[in-house]
Amino acid sequence: MKAKITVLPGDGIGVEVTTQAIAILQAVASKYGHEFSFEEALIGGIAIDKTGTALPPETITTAEASDAILLGAVGGYKWDNPSAPVRPEQGLLAIRKHFGLFANLRPVKAYPALASYAPLRAELLEGVDMLFVRELTGGIYFGARQEQGDNDYAYDTEYYSVPEVERVAHIAFRAAQGRRKKVASVDKANVLASMRLWRKTVTRVHDDYPDVALEHVLVDSCAMHLLTRPASFDVLVASNMFGDILSDEASVLAGSLGMLPSASLGSSRMGLYEPVHGSAPDIAGQGKANPTGAILSAAMMLRYSLDLEAEAKAVETAVEKALANGARTGDTAPRGTKALSTTEYAAEIMNNL
Ligand code: IPM
Ligand code: MN
């Protein structure tokens, strides 16, 4: 098949990790007889530097003409000034919103090869395989706000409508049907009105999925259970902010934040694929970044936007084999052992493809 992919490397290690993800996609294309073309565009801090805005209109035009978007990361020290009117993160939020990408899929797996070095006891990690479905275009990220300005107050609003909760709940239940048929819905219904609406709506959507078991978990308790009984979770569905926080927490189960991929999907096949990690300005440009999250995001692109399941599986298997053979970047290498550079590590994955 032919596919057009927009690449938005962004800032920091975003450039290094997307380079490796492209290399893997190119290898997949030549192995399976596909034709993928890549067009690069600006987002984040680099876009602010070059155009004054974090998401230039040319980037949207390029992305609109493509089948999928591969994104690195945005942000860095240079743009960290909290009172700056334009910030790199605005670009990311705006592109998610522009394409209506309301569901962010973040799978978290504990790889046996990494389990004995994880901060959590290895026996707790056995069988850990969960999927976060994070609501991505609503909630407190997009609700009414008052920037501080000259005031001595500021606020953000957590707002959810029934249709916003319904559509992401459907995605979660459908995903569960293809897995272990369990959904944990995360909320704070004991305190927040928006979360009581969330719980009521998820409960109603559940009526359509009698084959799936639903549990409601309060977010604070969920944060604990993710570390005490991680293997019991299958699909978790959460609001924009709760999903953001809990998926970073859950990355510890996978061994490193650098391991986690994500897919942001809407109501068409077009999707945005990005590692869960940020731009890591502390290690940017040093060849130390872990490209696994970006490479596995490319696998999710093959699966969800390009409908190439066998190819997606092949990439995932190549990652598992490389890990089993001992390939490690600095973040996953046990103390005192050798860590590969970003390029060397990606080459190990490539060799197993
Ligand atoms: C993420 C990031 C973003 C978010 C930031 C960079 C805007 O943390 O994708 O998880 O909060 O959604
Ligand atoms: Mn985050």
Of 92, 96, 241, best ligand 1 pocket probe by most atoms within 8 Å of the beta carbon:
92
User: Do residues 228 and 278 both lie within one domain?
Assistant: no
* Within-domain flag for 312: yes
* Within-domain flag for 341: yes
pTM: 0.97
* Within-domain flag for 329: yes
* Within-domain flag for 5: yes
CA 138, chain centre distance (Å): 16
Ligand 1 atom at shortest distance from the alpha carbon of 96: 12
User: Do residues 24 and 125 both lie within one domain?
Assistant: no
65: domain CATH number?
3.40.718.10
Nearby residues for ligand 2 (ion, Cβ within 5 Å): 244
Domain endpoint, select from 254, 287, 310:
254
pLDDT of residue 337: 85
User: Do residues 130 and 245 both lie within one domain?
Assistant: yes
The tens digit of pLDDT for each residue in 228-287 reads 999 999 999 999 999 999 999 999 999 999 999 999 999 999 999 999 999 999 999 999
Minimal-distance CA residue to ligand 1 atom 9 = 276
The tens digit of pLDDT for each residue in 257-271 reads 999 999 999 999 999
* Within-domain flag for 288: yes
The tens digit of pLDDT for each residue in 33-65 reads 999 999 999 999 999 999 999 999 999 999 999
Q: What band does 318 get if pLDDT is binned at 50, 70 and 90? A: very high
Phi, psi of 306 (to 5 degrees): -105, -5
* Within-domain flag for 113: no
* Average pLDDT estimate for 111-120: 86
User: Do residues 307 and 323 both lie within one domain?
Assistant: yes
User: Do residues 198 and 263 both lie within one domain?
Assistant: no
The tens digit of pLDDT for each residue in 70-80 reads 999 999 999 99
Ligand 1 atom at shortest distance from the alpha carbon of 104: 9
Return the SS3 of 145.
Answer: strand
Cα of 141 from ligand 1 centre, angstroms:
10
Output the ligand 1 site: residues, CB below 6 A: 75, 89, 92-93, 244, 276, 278
User: Do residues 199 and 186 both lie within one domain?
Assistant: yes
* Average pLDDT estimate for 119-132: 94
User: Do residues 126 and 28 both lie within one domain?
Assistant: no
Minimal-distance CA residue to ligand 1 atom 4 = 244
d(CA 122, CA 115): 5
Number of domains in the chain: 2
- Rg from Cα positions in the chain: 20
Domain endpoint, select from 254, 278, 300:
254
Q: What band does 1 get if pLDDT is binned at 50, 70 and 90? A: very high
Catalytic residue annotation: 141, 188, 220, 244, 248
Cα of 265 from ligand 1 centre, angstroms:
15
Q: Which domain holds residue 161?
A: 119-254
* Within-domain flag for 107: no
Sheet with 263-265: strands ordered across:
35-40, 2-10, 68-73, 271-273, 263-265, 103-109, 129-135, 235-238, 182-187, 213-218
Cα of 92 from ligand 1 centre, angstroms:
8
User: Do residues 221 and 127 both lie within one domain?
Assistant: yes
* Within-domain flag for 111: no
Q: At what angle do helices 193-206 and 162-177 cross, to 10 degrees?
A: 40
Which ligand gives the minimal distance to the CA of 134? 1
d(CA 60, CA 149): 30
Domain endpoint, select from 233, 254, 275:
254
Is residue 106 within 8 A of residue 247, CB to CB? The reply is: yes
Q: At what angle do helices 240-250 and 219-228 cross, to 10 degrees?
A: 20
pLDDT, the chain, mean: 96
Of 89, 135, 251, 276, best ligand 1 pocket probe by most atoms within 8 Å of the beta carbon:
89
Ligand 1 atom at shortest distance from the alpha carbon of 75: 6
pLDDT of residue 83: 81
User: Do residues 245 and 272 both lie within one domain?
Assistant: no
Ligand 1 atom at shortest distance from the alpha carbon of 248: 10
User: Do residues 143 and 61 both lie within one domain?
Assistant: no
User: Do residues 244 and 284 both lie within one domain?
Assistant: no
Minimal-distance CA residue to ligand 1 atom 12 = 244
User: Do residues 59 and 137 both lie within one domain?
Assistant: no
